[in-house]
Amino acid sequence: MTVRIVDRRQDSKNKSSINRSRFIQRFKGQIRKAMADAIARRGIRDIDSGEKIGIPGKDITEPHFRHGQGGKREIVHPGNDRFNTGDSVDRPLDGSGQGAGGASQDGEGIDDFVFTLTRDEFLDIFFDELALPNLVKRQLARIDEYKRVRAGYTQSGVPTNINLVRTMRGAAGRRIAVGAPFAAR
Residue ranges of domains in the chain = 16-61+110-143, 154-185
- Let me know if 54 is exposed, middle or buried by CB neighbors in 10 A (0-12, 13-18, 19+): middle
Among left, alpha and beta (phi > 0; psi -120 to 50; other), residue 30 is alpha
Least confident of 6-10, 22-26, 58-62, 156-160: 6-10
Q: Which of 111, 116, 128 is nearest to 20 (CA)?
A: 116
What number of residues does the chain have? 185
pTM of the model: 0.45
The CA distance from 33 to 37, in Å, is 6
pLDDT digits (tens, 9 = 90+) for 50-76: 778 888 877 777 777 877 766 777 776
